[in-house]
Amino acid sequence: MTTRFFGDTVLLTGRTMRHVTRSLDTILTVAITPILLMLVFVYVFGGAIHTGSKHYVNYLLPGILLITVGMGISYTAFRLFTDLKSGLFERFQSMPITRSSVLWAHVLTSLVSNMVSLALVVLVAVLMGFRTGAGVLAWLAVIGILAVFTLALTWLAVLPGLTAKTPDGAGAFSYPIVFLPFISSAFVPTDTMPGPVRAFAEHQPVTSIVNAIRDLFAQQPVHTGIWTALAWCAGILVVAYAAAMATYRRKTS
């Protein structure tokens, strides 16, 4: 059964990846908005924002990376919605394949395409002056955090992909997630915010994830921060996965 699941998932992932590679503008579109935000904040607002960092792009990049993931998952919800409405799921049900492999194919495609978009954003940040002395282990830790974060948000995106009534409704799910970094430590230190906003900013998942990535890039001790970030990602992933699978079973039963 396990071998069959992996075989079906690989086969269906190849199918969804072909859709992405045939429209590379999707990856570019996901990367363009975060890159424009980075350009505006660094070159327009950066001089007026005091973060204690010599180069504002170094402070800003972790939050921009999370926004990139938030932009990317909207396409996952849209592709899933399209497959559902086209009757493709019904055709898959008539075939001898593992049911959950259909969802996993979309999720893994999201992971790969988002990683490509993140690489493009990092490349532009380097051109803008981003520098880090982070070693291989620190980079691997950053990639790991971003991968788990992407998986968690992608499984969340599966829910509107399965339940939305329109394509716009499926994609609109990502808007609140893209907005969340603005109320965190992603753009400015939280101690500059008024009381209630600061309390929210310091106790929402984006801040702990941004801080962990920023400390890794800056070669600062992460202490328990990285575990807090991973705990948020893992918690969201487990809840989203359970909810998505339950919704999928209802849809296909």
- The residues of the chain scoring below 70 in pLDDT are 1-3, 5, 22-26, 88-97, 99
pLDDT digits (tens, 9 = 90+) for 40-59: 999 998 878 877 777 899 99
For residues 222 and 215, the answer to whether their CB atoms sit within 8 Å is: yes
Q: 3-state DSSP call for residue 100?
A: helix
Using alpha carbons, select from 115, 65, 37 the residue that is nearest to residue 229.
Answer: 65
How much is the pLDDT for 154?
Answer: 93
Query: Using CA atoms, how far apart are residues 212 and 207, in angstroms rounded to an integer?
Result: 8
Express each pLDDT in 177-215 by its tens digit.
889 999 999 999 998 899 899 999 999 999 999 999 999
Residue pair 108/80 in contact by the 8 Å Cβ criterion: no
Tens-digit pLDDT profile for residues 118-128 = 999 999 999 99
pTM above 0.85, yes or no: yes
Return the structure tokens found at 177: 């997630």
**239 neighbors 245 (Cβ within 8 angstroms):** no
Domain coordinates in residue numbering, the chain: 2-252
Res 10: pLDDT: 76
| pLDDT of the residue at 67 | 94
Q: What is the CA radius of gyration of the chain?
A: 19
pLDDT for the residue 1: 53
